[in-house]
Amino acid sequence: MIDHSLVVLNSLSGKKEPFRSIKPGYVGMYVCGPTVYSNVHLGNCRTFISFDLIYRYLNHLGYKVRYVRNITDAGHLENDEDTGEDRIAKKARIEKIEPMEVVQYFTVDFHQILKKFNNLPPGIEPTATGHIIEQIELIKKILKEGLAYQVNGSVYFDVLKFNETYQYGKLSGRKIEELIHNTRKLDGQSDKKNPQDFALWKKAEPQHIMRWPSPWGDGFPGWHLECTAMSTKYLGESFDIHGGGMDLKFPHHECEIAQAEAINKKPPVKYWLHANMLTLNGKKMAKSTGNNILPMDIFTGKNDKFSKPYSPQVVRFFMLQAHYTSVLDISQDALDASEKGYQRLMEAVNKLAKHQSGELKGEFDTDKWLKNCYAAMDDDFNSPLLIAHLFEAVKFINLIIHEDHPINYNQWKILNKMLPVFIHEVLGIGVEKESSSLAKEKLKQTVGLLIDLRNKARINKDFETSDQIRNQLKEYGIHLKDGKEGTNFTFD
């Protein structure tokens, strides 16, 4: 029996802490989902893959996990300072369609991409527009506590007033004095008392498409409020894990804490977990600079960053080779290495399943190996260390098979059972279909080799061998075509 002493890096304390769920055997986990006004960003995919890993491992340990991940389908302004245009409304205006058409299109796209990455769906996926009533009720409570104020149909959270009793900035390590010092003065056109204050409800101007009635007039909720409303509704006033990208620490998650503490007078979350960013070829990804790529661009190979397509499972495998809290750089070399590693892993699992067990015991301690695998995941979900241990097993399997040795039954039983568990159940790495890019590439290389052998036979006037290669390939549905620029081939 393996003793699991799971520790997690809590962003609130900045330290690794033993994981103890509030209710034994149960875990409440909330992860900030996408704002559905465009195709899901590859960096966001990394965040969702990271929390899919965490979700999978908690399930594997036997916890009953309620995983909530929201869809932001309204109220997300372009600017964290509560200015600009709602991103979904802006997209709808440009495309001359209804905002909910934008939402529907990109929500479907989001689900399809995560399905390709083999992500498990959350237990609950609430939307901001589906919880307007809950958000209005929370605003009423914050106003009643004297920690918000109403101006011209908008409602703002009073950060300085809140900070008299609580601590604003404790998650991101920001002190209120520094925030005041580093913030520009208001220009006189703002309704805010202080620059640090944030919107709970924004008045809708006449041209604003997405709007709802409220006690303060027609408007829409602030971005930060929706997560507080949905997390507390489905997970309670205090829950175990809140996750998201590192970029959401401030101001989004900081504001969530402030809202929840203003209402319930206690911390809303026990463990805050944050996934780090993904860079492309050593630089930050951004549409403005052109250093950007979408998941489907990688899967199809239709991009100017990489010379060939890579399958979703290879990309997932690549992402899990770095700890979720580390910055990860995606490049062609990295994906090529991951493609080879993924193939080695899959081949070893298949070979082991078919290999005969016997009395010979190789120099491999499977009990120790199993403990090491679990120790890696128990140490803040250390997937790269787990993968390193998996390749230790792969090395042993290949040695046994290549030397045609039997493997001790107990070793075979543990490896044959647990390798697929760690690969498929815990890491969530799926099996690619035969039509994967790697399979096509290998077939292309193999046919190319046979064409070279045929060309040499023709040069040596060995027409019997040349015809044999051509005819045999034709039987397999591969047709050779000789031309001035060499020999090409097509498939049936």
Q: What CATH number does the domain containing 408 carry? A: 1.10.730
Domain holding 224: CATH number? 3.40.50.620
Residue 147 lies in a domain: yes
For residue 438, CA distances in Å to 314, 375, 387, 435 come to 9, 32, 20, 8
pLDDT at 101 (0 to 100): 94
pLDDT at 96 (0 to 100): 86
Q: Is the pLDDT of residue 73 over 60?
A: yes
Same domain, 171 and 289: no
Alpha-carbon span 75 to 1, nearest angstrom: 50
pLDDT band at 313 (very low <50, low <70, confident <90, very high): very high
Same domain, 259 and 112: yes
Total-model pTM = 0.87
Same domain, 294 and 151: no
Residue 97 lies in a domain: yes
302 is written with which tokens? 């239709």
pLDDT at 180 (0 to 100): 76
Residue 111 in 3-state DSSP? helix
Structure confidence by residue, pLDDT tens digits, 272-292: 999 999 999 999 998 888 899
Q: Of 244, 275, 306, which residue sits at a domain end?
A: 275
Residue 14 lies in a domain: no
Q: Of 275, 290, 314, which residue sits at a domain end?
A: 275
Q: Where are the beta strands (DSSP E) in 350-439?
A: 357-358, 407-408
Residue 99 lies in a domain: yes
Amino acid at 403: E
117 Cα distance to chain centroid: 9
Residue 10 lies in a domain: no
pLDDT at 359 (0 to 100): 62
Q: Where are the beta strands (DSSP E) in 282-379?
A: 283-284, 328-330, 357-358
Percent of the chain surpassing pLDDT 70: 92
- If one counts every other C-beta atom within 10 angstroms of the C-beta of residue 316, the result is 25
For residue 238, CA distances in Å to 162, 231, 271, 329, 470 come to 19, 9, 10, 35, 70
Structure confidence by residue, pLDDT tens digits, 342-356: 999 999 999 988 887
Span 413-428, mean pLDDT? Answer: 96
Report the mean per-residue pLDDT for the chain: 91
- Specify whether the CB–CB gap between 254 and 171 falls below 8 A: yes
pLDDT at 414 (0 to 100): 93
Residue in this structure with the two tokens 């006004």, named with its chain if needed: 37
pLDDT at 407 (0 to 100): 81
Percent of the chain surpassing pLDDT 90: 70
| Residue (of 98, 105, 100, 106) closest to 33 by Cα position | 106
Alpha-carbon span 442 to 159, nearest angstrom: 60
Same domain, 188 and 323: no
Same domain, 26 and 122: yes
Span 449-468, mean pLDDT? Answer: 88
Q: Which residue did the predictor score with more confidence, 44 or 360?
A: 44
Choice among 45-54, 361-370, 377-386 with the minimum mean pLDDT: 361-370
Residue in this structure with the two tokens 């997932």, named with its chain if needed: 316
Q: Of 219, 247, 275, which residue sits at a domain end?
A: 275
Q: Is the pLDDT of residue 45 over 80?
A: yes
Q: Which residue did the predictor score with more confidence, 326 or 410?
A: 326
Which residues in 446-472 are b (16+ Cβ under 10 Å) and which e? Answer: ebeebbeebeebbeeeeeeebeebbee
pLDDT at 443 (0 to 100): 78
pLDDT band at 151 (very low <50, low <70, confident <90, very high): very high
Same domain, 56 and 188: yes
Largest CA distance in the chain: 95
| Residue (of 240, 230, 12, 208) closest to 93 by Cα position | 208
316 is written with which tokens? 């997932």
Amino acid at 157: F
Q: Is the pLDDT of residue 310 over 70?
A: yes
Same domain, 213 and 148: yes
Structure confidence by residue, pLDDT tens digits, 165-183: 999 999 999 988 877 767 6
pLDDT at 340 (0 to 100): 96
Same domain, 258 and 349: no
Alpha-carbon span 127 to 141, nearest angstrom: 21
Alpha-carbon span 384 to 388, nearest angstrom: 6
If one counts the domains in the chain, the total is 3
Choice among 66-75, 109-118, 123-132, 248-257 with the minimum mean pLDDT: 66-75
Structure confidence by residue, pLDDT tens digits, 213-234: 999 999 999 989 999 999 999 9
Same domain, 134 and 270: yes
pLDDT band at 440 (very low <50, low <70, confident <90, very high): low
User: What is the span of the domain harbouring residue 82?
Assistant: 22-275
pLDDT at 492 (0 to 100): 60
Residue 458 lies in a domain: yes
Same domain, 228 and 166: yes
Q: Which residue did the predictor score with more confidence, 87 or 437?
A: 87
Q: Which residue did the predictor score with more confidence, 99 or 74?
A: 99
pLDDT at 79 (0 to 100): 55
Who's near 60: CB < 8 A, 6+ residues apart? 421, 425, 426
Same domain, 111 and 213: yes
pLDDT at 435 (0 to 100): 43
Residue 4 lies in a domain: no
Same domain, 300 and 248: no
Who's near 19: CB < 8 A, 6+ residues apart? 6, 7, 8, 271
Residue 9 lies in a domain: no
- Specify whether the CB–CB gap between 27 and 269 falls below 8 A: no
